[in-house]
Structure 1
Amino acid sequence: MEAATDGSRTLADLNADALTHCASFLGLSDLARMAMACRTLHQAAYSDSIWRRLFRESWPQNFIPLETSGARAAYLARRNAVRQFKFDDPVMFNLPAYALPQSHLLFDRDDIILAQGSSIQILKVDTSTWETTCEAIRAHNSRITCVRLIPLNETFLFRNEMQKNENTIVTSSSDHTIRLWWKGRSQRCFKGHNVPVTTLADRLLGKSGTKLLASGGEDGSIRLWSLGSSVKRQPFVATFHGHERPISFLTVAEHNPSLLLSISKDAKLRVWDATMASRSSSCVGMSAFSGHPVGIKCHESLCYVASGSSVTAVDLRTMKKVSAIATHPPKLHSFAMAPSKSLIWTGGDEKAILWDVRRAKAMAVLDGHLGPVAMIHADGSKVVTGGPKDLYVKVWEADNGALVRSLECYSDDLTEVGDEEVGLSAMAVDGCRIVTGGFGEGPHLLCFRDYSNSSVLIADREQGPSSKFWEEPASSS
């Protein structure tokens, strides 16, 4: 980085103290970008004073002495421990609920969204006062089949910058409709399907300014809806026909937001181009797989299809199957992916397996479950696994595969039920928070845990065995 010669000032003209002062106004993600810009900015971004400030703002009840060096390492270690639930004193609530399908429980910032039957409940948890409030909203006439969150600023409801960080709730139902919810009310009802709507796309189609929602029906049809249309305009855009069975999953290609991927219950994959929606043939690619579809994930120009007992990579540019990344007999129950680390997790009977996408090789076995591993959450810090026959969800370190701990699905008094079938019905994880739904003969509960301000680390003896990741088999002598 060279100084300017035309009299103007550049960052090179600022001393280290000035750069550090400027960096002190940045958040974590902006600091990371600053550190990658050049050596001078890297040094400023790594200043101990900045990381002491971030530590103090995140965990005011803890303290780093001013003379302590390595504040950045202390902050990152603490942040990682919080996100891995390595504490014994989270803020914890038990909340009443019915047994829930897995996809019907999710976080919306400080709220917990759950769909039960034909209604939605919004649970607001105040961790400072240990109080919860519940708002129930109803408009569907039949069972809700899918729940999604979309940014408010991508809909016709967006009005000003104050609303930029808000979400709207979108639901599909067996009553053949799709509803858009905001501020506790149904703001829009989309009618057009002649059969129950089975699923919604995980994000919106199209580039900025032309956002479309995709929905799939029990008859195999797919419909596109414009969320930018005002109440007076018709939101329906187009219908795609081609599938012969109900739609199981819809997702949007990462490398091209105009491409929609759909897979039906007969494991037939189709790729649709939304820019050709007005033409008779919008399908631009197709492929077939064996077994029951478990999920589809996109990363760059590849689509990973989990179906039957395997995960297969498909190149969306050619629609050719690249390779079978994972094989997990007798069948898959769940599937998660961490694209930044080239890792995928598959859930099978009584265990989950970690796979290296680049080598198509199993790297670790996450075992100890009582039945099918039907739910997997994966992020940069941890992997959380569980299933309908488990009393506990298991938390694993994402980097080394060590078992951090097991967490009860709900409170102790509900797990002592003799031979009664109990287990995990739903799970949602968001950073340092987790909510699990349990079922049994008695009351069904959601258990909410927030580790944000925890301070009592779990004892080392309570942590799981050492890492099984990346270990090569011992050679036989």
Structure 2
Amino acid sequence: MADSMPSPSSNQSQNATTTTITDLNVDSLVHSAAYLNLQDVCNLAMTCKYFKRVAYSDFIWQRLFREHWPQQPSPSSLHSRGLREMYLARRTAVQQFKFADPFVADFYTDVKPFNHLQLSKNDIFLTQGSQIQMINMDRYQSGKDFVSALSDHKARITCMRLFFLNDISLFRGETESEQKVLVTSSCDHSIRLWRKGSCQRCFRGHNGPVLSLSNKLLGEDNVKVLASGGDDGTVRLWSLSSSGKRGQHALKATLYGHEKAVNFIVVAGHRNSLLASISRDSKVRVWDTTTSSAVRSSCCVGMTSVAGAPVSMQCQESLLYIGAGSSVTAVDSRTMRKVMTAAVHRPKLYSFDIVPSKSLICTGGDGRAMLWDIRRNQEEPVAELDGHCGPVTLLHMDPYKIVTGGPQDPCINVWEVDTGAQIKSLSCCCGEKEAHGSRSGCGAMAVDGCRIATASYCEEMGILRFRDFSNASSSVMKLEEDQTQTSKFWDSSSDRITSDWQT
């Protein structure tokens, strides 16, 4: 027994030879960290001071630069700025559209109003009336068939959502990366689920037009539930994994309580089983969808109301931001108490968007947009974004930029999110039509990172314009230095140099 026990000297020798990862030299760790993606490199930098030094190495950021922008000349480590700072500066500039030579493609459509526009990387989804068009830019650039026309709906499409599903049981034999699903609602009383250019499900049950769809799906990973609001005043829950193409068994529950048509539905940020809806009479209800009865009104766990016609509704964590009338009101979904009036835009509010991480709200009104800091006095905006010809009905906001436009503006404007300073304007219309004085404003807009799609139409044609700034090279700052006549803002005509990319 005594022979099997290790001696103290042997324990000391084992402890003396123990090596930790921090005992490795920095060069070895840098070469290992060069295989990490951007998110992992950032996580490494937050671990400790030693790993932060590794993560800030020029070798890593030069590799990331070449990986993200292979067509651009790789920066040199001899530059006065570090390669990490150069990478982050270019990434910010790309996200803010601070380049004059993006990839541009124009597509001509029927002369009809544009109802909805979705953009997901290189996939564009567009609706006009009851028609859906799906455009794949990768196939377009490779010379393949790139347009799919979907015409199963029999009346005007009222809402369109794009979801990425992780549950592969919905479509047998497919990988997770292929689970991109488009969902549309229509005045023909139906909801349709689209995938790969065809209708996979059709849900019916509303006694009237279906007006709204939830912004996210309810439930856990293996049970995905979609919520819809109708002109009949009901909120209905649908299981996306129901059997049968017609979705005979898809309806899980019908929620009663609204007296008017349901205009907007959002899923709570802090609990994916809570659903908030607002009706045409500006009554707000919060529903707990975990109860099991098929037809119910008792799952309503909170009610309130706001002043004015509803414009839009968003949810961040437990706070509901409700745009109605001339203001944006924040409501705590747990207590249904009004926390604050986040922004007041008189005389009327047309649109709004928020960036919670920066405590900023942007509202669109008549002739201008306004930027607000919700931590400050709401009677004084941070900035006024002027220069619009009419109501600002189109508004996108993310941590890098604000994009605004409207039906009477031939251009959409891009602004810095922190200061409200204008970056540039981008034309929505065809140059030939503008020259003849026949032009219209922007009817629809979608932004996805460094890509943007706009749609407008005139008397003769509709125009869908796609821009991709990811591989642009002529920065605004560089061209401003080359010009003898400097301008504070970048002229919108400069982006038309690639107008040859037209179909």
Question: TM-score, length-normalised on structure 2?
Answer: 0.86
The equivalences for 1:304-319 within 5 A come to 304-319=321-336
Tell me which residue corresponds to 1:473.
Answer: none
Q: AA paired with 1:457?
A: S
Q: 1:341 aligns with which of 325, 337, 358?
A: 358
1:384-415 superposed Cα distances (whole Å, 9 cap, x missing partner): 00111101100011123221111111221122
Tell me which residue corresponds to 2:249.
Answer: 234
Distance 1:357 1:59 in 2: 37
Tell me which residue corresponds to 2:109.
Answer: 97
Displacement, 1:190? 0.9
Distance 1:388 1:188 in 2: 34
Tell me which residue corresponds to 1:475.
Answer: none
Q: AA paired with 2:94?
A: V
The equivalences for 1:276-287 within 5 A come to 276-278=291-293, 279-287=296-304
Q: 2:343 aligns with which of 326, 331, 345?
A: 326
Determine if contact 1:168/1:180 at 8 Å carries over to the other structure. yes
Q: 1:132 to 1:35 in 2, by over 3 A?
A: farther
Distance 2:111 2:402 in 1: 23
Distance 1:239 1:56 in 2: 53
Q: 1:280 to 1:290 in 2, by over 3 A?
A: closer
The equivalences for 1:5-44 within 5 A come to 10-44=20-54
Displacement, 1:293? 0.7
Q: AA paired with 1:261?
A: A
Tell me which residue corresponds to 1:470.
Answer: none
Displacement, 1:160? 5.8
Tell me which residue corresponds to 2:496.
Answer: none
Q: 1:329 to 1:155 in 2, by over 3 A?
A: farther
Is it true that 1:116 corresponds to 2:128 in the alignment? Answer: yes
Q: Structure 1 stretch 93-102 or stretch 250-259: which is displaced more? A: 93-102
Q: 2:90 aligns with which of 51, 56, 78?
A: 78
Tell me which residue corresponds to 1:189.
Answer: 202
Tell me which residue corresponds to 1:138.
Answer: 151
Is it true that 1:427 corresponds to 2:445 in the alignment? Answer: yes
Q: 1:292 aligns with which of 309, 319, 338?
A: 309
Q: 1:160 to 1:339 in 2, by over 3 A?
A: farther
SS of structure 1 residue aligned to 2:134: strand
Is it true that 1:65 corresponds to 2:90 in the alignment? Answer: no
Q: 1:406 aligns with which of 425, 446, 449?
A: 425
Determine if contact 1:156/1:227 at 8 Å carries over to the other structure. no
SS of structure 2 residue aligned to 1:169: strand
Displacement, 1:92? 0.7
Q: 1:314 to 1:184 in 2, by over 3 A?
A: same
Displacement, 1:250? 0.5
Is it true that 1:265 corresponds to 2:275 in the alignment? Answer: no
Q: 1:447 to 1:319 in 2, by over 3 A?
A: same
Q: AA paired with 1:388?
A: P
Q: AA paired with 1:358?
A: R
Tell me which residue corresponds to 1:88.
Answer: 100
The equivalences for 1:380-419 within 5 A come to 380-418=399-437
Q: 1:425 to 1:435 in 2, by over 3 A?
A: same
Q: Provide the aligned C-alpha RMSD in A.
A: 2.3
Displacement, 1:44? 1.4
Q: 1:128 to 1:40 in 2, by over 3 A?
A: farther
1:340-399 superposed Cα distances (whole Å, 9 cap, x missing partner): 111010000111111111224311111111111111111111110011110110001112
Displacement, 1:429? 0.8
**Pairs aligned (count):** 461
Distance 1:100 1:261 in 2: 33
Q: Structure 1 stretch 389-398 or stretch 455-464: which is displaced more? A: 455-464
Q: Structure 2: which 5+ residue stretches go unaligned? A: 1-13, 481-485, 491-503
Distance 2:179 2:47 in 1: 31
Q: 1:292 to 1:100 in 2, by over 3 A?
A: farther
Q: Structure 1: which 5+ residue stretches go unaligned? A: 466-477
Q: 1:247 aligns with which of 219, 243, 262?
A: 262
Distance 2:328 2:456 in 1: 29
Higher Rg = 2
Displacement, 1:287? 0.7
Determine if contact 2:115/2:128 at 8 Å carries over to the other structure. no
Tell me which residue corresponds to 2:500.
Answer: none
